[in-house]
Amino acid sequence: MKPEITFLPRDKYQGYILPISYVSSEYYDVTVTKLEKGFLFQIEKKPLDYPFHYHPETMNYPDRLYLDYLDDAKAYGIIINDELIGAIETTVETWTNRLRITELWVKEEYRRKGYGKALIEVAKARTIEENYRALVLETQSSNTNAIDFYLSQGFTLIGLDTCSYHNEDIKRKHVRLDFGWFPESKN
């Protein structure tokens, strides 16, 4: 059964903290090699020596809906028994004509049941309906479950940033990876 997805109004959900967390025993190792005439980037899934834990209570900036600086943000959620169990937020990048997923979360006990896919479909539909050339998002090289999910939903790696979160992101095994999905009519 396809979940019912509801628009989450800004006046009610602005600042709402999404309790995003994950544990990973693998990561995507990023290496950058300077060549004589350029650079070589390699990204390879490898096991971690110890599990990587990402929990909102350890973060200085927890994930929140409807941050003031986001243009034209729209959030949608799945509510079961009066509880928000999943949400997606998108915002417009006018200068690039892209739609960006700024937040995607499904409560742990509801994962792998089609809720994340249903939320992604909302963002894909907005991309097509509002004529954006691409749907983009970022995640971390340590979040292999998310990366594997995005790949299964038709996203492809479009870039990386080796110092987005910290000056030693590669060493910390927590590199920003950017993914994109392109409507067929925009290729």
C-alpha–C-alpha distance, residues 103 and 141, integer Å: 17
Confidence of residue 14 (pLDDT cuts 50, 70, 90): very high
Q: What is the pLDDT of residue 187?
A: 45
Give the pLDDT confidence of 83-116 residue by residue, as tens digits: 999 999 999 999 999 999 999 999 999 999 999 9
Q: What is the pLDDT of residue 59?
A: 62
Structure tokens at 79: 């509510």
Whole-angstrom CA distances from 136 to 20, 34, 108, 168 are 19, 27, 23, 24
Give the pLDDT confidence of 112-126 residue by residue, as tens digits: 999 999 999 999 999
Share of the chain above pLDDT 70, in %: 95
Structure tokens at 12: 């009610």
Give the pLDDT confidence of 134-162 residue by residue, as tens digits: 999 999 999 999 999 999 999 999 999 99
Q: What is the pLDDT of residue 184?
A: 82
CATH 3.40.630.30 fits 5-186, yes or no: yes
Give the pLDDT confidence of 18-62 residue by residue, as tens digits: 999 999 999 999 999 999 999 999 999 999 999 988 886 666 678
Give every CB contact of residue 170 below 8 A, 6+ residues apart in sequence.
Answer: 30, 31, 32, 162
H/E stretch holding 135 reads strand 134-140
Q: What is the pTM (predicted TM-score) of this model? A: 0.93
Identity of the amino acid at 21: S
